[in-house]
Amino acid sequence: MNDWIESVAWNADGLVPALAQDAKSGEVLMLAWMNREALTKTAESREAVYWSRSRGKLWKKGETSGHVQRVLEIRLDCDADAVLLRVESVAGIACHTGRRRCFFNRLEGEGSEARWVETDPELADPSTFRDG
Amino acid sequence: MNDWIESVAWNADGLVPALAQDAKSGEVLMLAWMNREALTKTAESREAVYWSRSRGKLWKKGETSGHVQRVLEIRLDCDADAVLLRVESVAGIACHTGRRRCFFNRLEGEGSEARWVETDPELADPSTFRDG
């Protein structure tokens, strides 16, 4: 019985967007994608497993970096087409660039002056790991 | 010059997922989608405008419900394929079901006992508005 898995509105590629939010700070860390196997493994192991669209394979968060995400809560939205994880970000680093979160670009300025500005420092050397 | 718009990694449908997070509580309210026009209008008006995939048109948040989202900050992630809005949710209701947020289903139980459980009350009668 995996009805809870089939309750998810998987897209045409069999994927759903999954957000990771830091359970303590409330900071939105990253958006990744999951397939049925990734979500099942995440629920069973209570550690985040995503589907890497670029590599075309399951991606256990932290498998090369050690930046595991412990999953405290799994939520589904009203249309069942987005998943929210509340996590403990073990090393305090969620991004493959070595930053705390992936959303480190902020839009500043208006009109023709608008541009993305990096706001967050690198906390780890990204050459030492492949994933975030 | 709209280079900041072209910096976004629009998908094959010309869309990007956009998260709305309550700026005060930190709560993740919803995940919706934007096209170039929606993101441009959001940046110009500082109120959230999404692209409704089901209706195939621009969707000014709150246009029928009054549940406008004032946009305090717009962020882009490391791969430029996800947008994060920090918003003031004017009526404190982000979901078209009349709830504070769309992520009102929590996974409870394990293995064959796992199921989605609604955790949040309806704060408004959803029959009084079409969108969230």
Instruction: Report whether A33 contacts A51 (CB < 8 A).
Output: yes
The mean pLDDT of A52-56, rounded to a whole number, is 94
ipTM over cut 0.90: yes
Residues of B in contact with A31 (CB under 8 A): 17, 19, 77, 81-82
Q: Please give the radius of gyration of chain A, using alpha carbons only, rounded to the nearest integer.
A: 16
Report CA B103 to chain centroid distance, whole Å. Answer: 11
Burial of A117 (0-12, 13-18, 19+ CB in 10 A): exposed
Look at strands B115-118 and B105-108 and give their pairing. Answer: antiparallel
Query: For residue B1, is pLDDT > 50?
Result: no
| pLDDT grade for B132, boundaries at 50, 70 and 90 | low
Closest CA to A17 of A79, A101, A83: A83
Query: For residue B118, is pLDDT > 90?
Result: yes
| pLDDT grade for B65, boundaries at 50, 70 and 90 | confident
Q: Say if the Cβ atoms of B30 and A77 lie within 8 Å.
A: yes
Sign of torsion, CA B81 A27 A18 B51?
Answer: negative
Instruction: Tell me what pLDDT residue A56 has.
Output: 96
The one-letter amino acid at B13: D
The mean pLDDT of B98-127, rounded to a whole number, is 93
The mean pLDDT of A13-19, rounded to a whole number, is 98
Instruction: Report whether A122 contacts A132 (CB < 8 A).
Output: no
d(CA B91, CA B86): 15
| pLDDT grade for A125, boundaries at 50, 70 and 90 | confident
Mean pLDDT of chain B: 93
Query: For residue B85, is pLDDT > 50?
Result: yes
Which secondary structure element, helix H or strand E, spans residue B43, and what is its range? Answer: helix B36-45
Strand partners, B26: none
Helical ranges in chain A per DSSP H: 3-6, 36-45
Query: For residue B104, is pLDDT > 50?
Result: yes
Q: Say if the Cβ atoms of B102 and A19 lie within 8 Å.
A: no
- DSSP-derived secondary structure for B2-71: -HHHHTS---TTS-EEEEEEETTT--EEEEEEE-HHHHHHHHHHSB-EEEETTTTEEEETTTTT---EEE
| More confident site: A2 or A33 | A33
B12 touches chain A (CB under 8 A): no
What is the least distance, in Å, from the CA of B66 to any CA of chain A?
19
Instruction: Tell me what pLDDT residue B12 has.
Output: 95
Against a cut of 0.90, is the pTM above it? yes
Number of A/B CB contacts below 8 angstroms equals 112
Structure tokens at B105: 């289903």
A31 touches chain B (CB under 8 A): yes
Instruction: Tell me what pLDDT residue B130 has.
Output: 62
Question: Tokens 């918003």 belong to which residue?
Answer: B87
Q: How many CB atoms lie within 10 A of CB B10?
A: 16
The phi, psi pair for B60, rounded to 5°, reads -75, 115
